[in-house]
Every structure is written in structure tokens, then in C-alpha cells.
Chains A and B, each alone.
Chain A
Amino acid sequence: MGELEQRGERTPAPTAWEYASAPESRELVTLERQYGLFIGGQLVEPRSGKYYDTIEPANEKPLARIAEAGPEDVGLAVGAARAAFENGWSAASPAERAKYLFRIARILQERSREFAVLESLNGGKPIRESRDVDLPLAAAHFFYYAGWADKLDYAFPNRRPRPLGVAGQIIPWNFPLLMLAWKLAPALAAGNTVVLKPAETTPLSALLFCDVLRQAELPPGVVNIVTGDGATGAALVEAEGVDKIAFTGSTEVGKAIQRQLAGTGKKLTLELGGKAANIIFDDAALDQAVEGIVNGIYFNQGHVCCAGSRLLVQESIYEPLIEKLKRRLATLRVGDPLDKNTDVGAINSRQQLEKIEQLVAAGQEEGAEIYQPPCRLPEQGYWFAPTVFTNVAQSYRIAQEEIFGPVLSVLTFRTPAEALEKANNTPYGLSAGVWTEKGSRILWLAERLRAGVIWANTYNRFDPVSPFGGYKESGFGREGGRHGLEPYLEFEGAEEIGG
């Protein structure tokens, strides 16, 4: 008790301080009633004649009608990409390609508020994240690869890099515009043309991006965008004239694509699921580690392939850390994605919500202890409260399967060797986090963890310079950095140069 309390002169503390809602304006975005397919530089009606509604996951209301591309439409898009490749893009001077990429990057920066609002509307993610993470990173990727476009010979000395041709790219719904940037920027910088298929539930930012391409005066056909569901994606994978497929999404679909492409000679890179370990040692800075845990699993509602969904805590600090984590969870604001104070937004789709609910029910059945902070979830839309499971055994489904939602499974360990063993004991291998003040321990683990990305004393930090990709069932190939160019290039004549 402080002195003042003892003297009985306390000024009572308030019982509430509700932040007034601070919504970003949805008027920043003007939506068409209906969108066609972007083929050869034009939005055209689909030959399939089919459309579907894309909705706002925060209230389940339709936002626009979206074309559903059939095999014929996909064939037209690939044809347009092929023609653009043959008629100039592959032969254009590399500095010319860089010019367009720089333009796109700048236009994205200029229109970032508009795109951020759209990303939150269609995807359900908090505006704070689309504004501070998705948009700046998307622009940064275009800037970064614009810089490489005329320096490929320096990126791969003595290997004579040349473009592959037409790249078919299929992207997920968790970071619609950012994944578009991750895919398009290196492909274009390397001199390829592209047919891109956005995710079924989140096509709008890609369609607005067509307007950026128009503003940037990118030659028609260099980028084509076909919307639709899994069947559209499968048609793109199969299409004649596609030289390379780049896919980001579930391990299940990734495996199917790999089977489909076997023996076709098409190149393939896959960025698939994960079940990353976030490892907290007893000497870590605890309050900051708690922030890292929260950022690791509740960022973007946990719809992150590299999410730190398995928390490994050293047993000696288990209790204080879990207490801190639970207290922190109570301060997370769940709700309207457009409110600037929202920390956790809407689940992307009903299908995903059902999957999360199913796995959480499995966790409870298996005997794990569930904790959810008290929070009011809106009546309409798809929502799931931030969730922590304690008393989780390595064998539980919630410790093995990717949930792709705001659900954390907590396990404990006693020694660094045990932490390593548990962290690697998964079919996935996309990412991992290590929290310790000991530099030597970070290096020891980084050498031994079977994961493509390892964060030390931070989590979910991205930069275009840093390569990203998986081991094992998390896929193969790298995106980002100089490594990210390689899947979009072929190299000739190592033998000619004395190799």
C-alpha cells in the first residue's frame, strides 16, 4: 500500500476507459459492382459466364461480384502473357523493366490508404496491420526487385541468367496484396510475364491493383489476373504454355500440384504450411517475449503460415510467463477491422472459422486446458477469440496440425537439447523463434533448427532483402532477397564457362 492509501486520501480510480471507436473511412475505396478478368491489359467478361460474390468477413455482406475464370479464360490469359513475353517484355532493356517496377512501388505508396482499407474490408485484418505492415512491405518488395532488374548478371555472376517465360502464380488469402507483391516483383524483374490467381475469398486488392498497372503504363499482357476458386487454380497449373508455377497455400493443395506437375517439365516452387516453435528460455526479457508471443500467433488472426503456433517455454519460468501472457491477452481488442484500435480482426471465411472451431474442440477433447480472455465478439461476421491452450502434449492434434487461427498451444521443456528436439519434431519446417539473452545459444539453435526462417528475440519480422521459405512439408524454393530471383531464371552454359 502506498502512503496515500494509508492516509485514506485515495482518489478512486475510474471503472472504465473505453476508447471511442476510431474507424478509418471506407469511403476511401470505390468499388465496382462487378469485376471481370484482367487479360491483355483489359478487364474482360469471363467466357465461362460465371460470377460469385466476394464478401466482407466482418459482417458477411457482399462487396462485389467476381468473375470465375474457366479453363478457356485461363488459356486466354496464358496466351496474352505468352504474347507479351515474345513481343517485347523479355527483350526489353532491363532498366526499362526496372522503371515499371519503380513506378508500381511509388503508386502503391501513394495509394496506400485506399489499399489498406480495401485489404481490411475484404480480408478482415485490422487496419493497423494493413496500414503498417501489408502496404509498406508490398511497396518495399517492388522497390527492392526494381533494383535487381538491371543487375541480374551481378546477382548470378558467370551464370548468364535468362527469364523462364510465363509464370503462373497462385496466392493465398492471408496477405492478398503482399503475396501478390512477393510473387510479381521478382518474376517481372527477372523478365517473365505472369498469370496470377488471387485467392477465392480475397480478390479485390488484386483487382484494384490492375488500376495501378494501368497508371504505371505497364505493357498489356505482362501481368494478367484471373479470379476464381480452386478449379481456376488447377486450370492454371495445367495450362499449356505455362513455364513455371509458384504456389503459396496449404500443404494439401501443394502436394496435389506437385503430383499434377510431375513429368511436365514445368518448374515449381511451393510455400506451404507451418507449425512453428517459438522457444522461450528462462533468461529471456520476459515482457518483450510476451509481445513476441502475441505478435507470433495473434498477428493477422493467426492466419500466417509462419505463425509461432507452438510455444515452447522453459519450465522454470512457465508460471510467471503464462500469467503475463494471459494478462496481455486481456488487453487485445477484437472487433471491427477498420477501427484503428483493433488488434485482432475477423476470421477470413466461414470455412476457416469452422476449421478453427473443429481443431479447438479436438484440443479440449484431448485434455488440453483452454483460456480465452473475456471479450465481446460481434454478432455478425466470422470471429474467434484469442485462445491459449496449456497442458498440451506433443501428441495432441493442436500441437501437430496447422490451425491457421488465433490459437496457441503451450508446451514446456527443460534443457536446450529438449527444446531443439521438440521444435524439430514436426512435418513442417517454415520458421522458428528463439528468445534468450545468450548469443551463443541463439547460434547453436539456428544451426540445428530445421526451419527456413529463424527469428531471435523477435517474431514475424519481414524484409524484402531476407529470403523466406521452408524445409520439409513447408515447401521448397525461396522468396525474397537475391534467392527469390532464382526460381524465375534459368541459367545457361555453366560448362561453357569451364564449370
Chain B
Amino acid sequence: MAQAPVLPAGFELPLEPRLPRIGSVDQVALEARATDLSRRSIKREAKLFALELAVRMMDLTTLEGADTPGKVAALAAKAIRPDPADSSVPSVATVCVYPNLVQTAADRVRGSGVKVAAVATAFPSGQSPTDLKVAEARRVVELGADEVDMVIDRGAFLAGRYAKVYDEIVQVKEAVGEAPLKVILETGELGTYDNVRRASLLAIAAGADFIKTSTGKLPLAATPPVTLVMLEAIRDVFEETGRRVGMKPAGGIRSAKQAVQTLVLVHETLGLDWLTPDLFRFGASSLLNDVLMQIRKQKTGSYQSPDYFTID
């Protein structure tokens, strides 16, 4: 049996109230606040600002078993120049792909400013031995990934083996080196907002540069209350330590309206400082076209047929 380490002489328990406290989350009040914020009415120039920001913050994603070099090439072209008819629409942040497609993606976006993000660590389940996950993370960086999206071991988390979850993140962080690490909590499997908050703080403590809601493989993904609870954890860490951690909701954000509402959540929880792709991303595949359509509506005053926007 493992034994608790003996406390060194002169050791003192920290008596100051420690923040970020793990604390707790009240479900009813949290959901009410998220609903309230979703009723903000964002119009005209304020809306256009949010839509263009959403494009710049997007991790344009394809994570299918059926992904091919051709599919990824098309996505990369879209990422660089989302709206061929309007050159003022900015490029997205990254294309996000499986490890096998990292090289293709990297070749296609080279020199454009668009980065490549790769999922790793036995995405989406995370149910693999730690050494394989660490090796996979190291490998995707070698293959040319600029950023890495890892998943936590939800089985270990739900079994209360927090140290295992923590250690794994630490090891992956070390393996990816300079590349920003996004840690996917897969909140749809965590069951409670309290767990989402705990997992957020755990991932941040272990070195996550971003915390990310979901793999996109579950129906329950980046809901507004889940996003809010994670933003509040990020805020507590910032207030306590000054460290700025990024946020990435992924999965379930399909309309421009949802994207704008999510940015309102960020704005009113963390303030303007987080309204940059350095600290906020959307993980999405179908969102981009709706955002493009709304941008054109804002600029021209009328909606255009979906046929004018490429399906990639």
C-alpha cells in the first residue's frame, strides 16, 4: 500500500484561503445566467465585428474515419480563403485533423499563416496506455502539427484517479514542447458542472494552454452553461495567478448566432483580453459557412443562396 509522504520539518499548511478554490457550481443559477446572456441582442457593426472575429478564431475541423488527402486539401484552401468572393474575410486560425493527415494539411497551408492542429492521445476515447498517448503527441509535432489537441482519460477522472489524469497531461505537455496544448475534457461524459469545473482546474494546473469542451463525437457538447463554467474557472486562475489560459468550445456550435452568443459569454466573463485567437477558438466544421453567409448579409443587406458558399 502506498504511504503518505512524511511532512518535512517546518512544513506549514497554507492557511490563506487558496484560490482558485475548487469550489462548487450551482446548476440552476449557472444555467439561468447562461440563458440570460444568450438573450443579448447583437446587431449591425457589433455583429459584424463578432462574425469576423469568429472566423479568425476558428479551428476548421475534419475528424472522420473517411478523411482523405483530397478532403483535407479542400479544407485547407477554405481555411486560407474562406470567402473567395470577399478578400476582406480573414483566414481561420487552424485546420484541425487526425495525425495521419497532418503532413497533407501542413503542405497545403504552408506560408499562409494558417496553422495545423492535430488531435492526439487516442482521440476521441483516450483509452490507451499513457506511453502510447505520449508518443503519439510527440509524433504529431514531428509530423508538422503546430498545435496539439489531447483528450483526458475520463475513465480515470470518473474513478477519482485525478493524479493519473494530471500526470498524463504533464507528460503530454512535455512531449509537445513549444506547441500550444489544448486539453479536451469531453464534458458530455463528466456528468456534472462540478466535475467540469474540477477537470478544468486540473487540466490548467497540469499545464494546459487551452481547455476544450468536447471531441465533437458526442451529442452533448459545447452548451452555453458548460462554456460558462469553464470560462469562470479560467477567470479564477487568472485572478489568482495572473496566468491566461485559452478556451475552446467545440461541437454543437453550428450557427453564426450561437457563435456570437458564445463570444458574448467570453466578453462578459473574461473581458476584451480574451477576444483574440490566442486565447479563444471555436472547434467547428459546419459553422464557417453560416458565419460567412451572415457576414455577407451584414455587408450587403440581403441573404444569398447557400449555393454561393462552397461545401468543402
Q: Which residues of A contact B (CB under 8 A)?
A: 1-5, 7, 9-20, 22, 128, 132, 283-289, 291-292, 316-317, 320, 323, 331, 340-341, 437, 457-458
Structural contact, A13 and B23, CB atoms closer than 8 A = no
Q: A3-B179, A5-B278, A320-B19 are in contact. Are A285 and B46 (CB under 8 A)?
A: no
Check: B184 CB closer than 8 A to any chain A CB. Answer: no
Structural contact, A11 and B277, CB atoms closer than 8 A = yes
Residues of A within 8 A of B47 (CB): 20
In Å, the complex CA distance between A161 and B151 comes to 66
Residues of A within 8 A of B26 (CB): 284-285, 288-289, 457
Q: A4-B180, A320-B19 are in contact. Are A17 and B268 (CB under 8 A)?
A: no
Structural contact, B279 and A292, CB atoms closer than 8 A = no
Residues of B within 8 A of A340 (CB): 39-41
Structural contact, B46 and A3, CB atoms closer than 8 A = no
Contact with A along B257-294 (1 / 0, CB 8 A): 00000000001100011111111000000000000000
- CB within 8 A of B23: which of A128, A286, A316? A286
Structural contact, A287 and B232, CB atoms closer than 8 A = yes
- CB within 8 A of B245: which of A2, A284, A289, A331? A2
Residues of A within 8 A of B50 (CB): 17
Q: Which partner residue on chain A sits nearest B23 by CB separation? A: A286
- CB within 8 A of A292: which of B17, B24, B29, B268? B29
Residues of A within 8 A of B274 (CB): 13
In Å, the complex CA distance between A260 and B216 comes to 69
Residues of A within 8 A of B275 (CB): 13-14, 17
Q: A13-B272, A285-B23, A288-B26 are in contact. Are A2 and B278 (CB under 8 A)?
A: yes
Residues of B within 8 A of A288 (CB): 25-26, 29-30, 33
Of B26, B56, B180, B276, most A-chain CB atoms within 10 Å = B26
Residues of A within 8 A of B209 (CB): 2-4
Restricting to B226-240, which residues have a CB under 8 Å from any CB of A?
Answer: 232, 239
Residues of A within 8 A of B272 (CB): 13-17
Interface residues on B, range: 35 or more
Structural contact, B40 and A291, CB atoms closer than 8 A = no
Min CB gap A302→B, angstroms: 18
Structural contact, B39 and A128, CB atoms closer than 8 A = yes
Which 10 A-B pairs rank lowest in CB-CB distance, beginning with the nearest? A288-B29, A22-B41, A285-B26, A288-B26, A340-B41, A20-B44, A20-B46, A13-B276, A4-B278, A3-B180
Check: B42 CB closer than 8 A to any chain A CB. Answer: yes
Structural contact, B17 and A17, CB atoms closer than 8 A = no
Check: B74 CB closer than 8 A to any chain A CB. Answer: no
18 more CB-based (< 8 A) A-B contacts, given A291-B32, A292-B29, A331-B268: A2-B243, A2-B245, A10-B278, A12-B276, A13-B272, A13-B273, A13-B276, A14-B276, A17-B50, A19-B42, A19-B43, A20-B45, A128-B39, A284-B26, A285-B26, A285-B29, A287-B30, A320-B19
Residues of A within 8 A of B243 (CB): 1-2
Check: B303 CB closer than 8 A to any chain A CB. Answer: no
Structural contact, A19 and B46, CB atoms closer than 8 A = yes
Structural contact, B244 and A20, CB atoms closer than 8 A = no
Min CB gap A2→B, angstroms: 5
Q: A11-B278, A17-B275, A288-B29 are in contact. Are A2 and B180 (CB under 8 A)?
A: yes
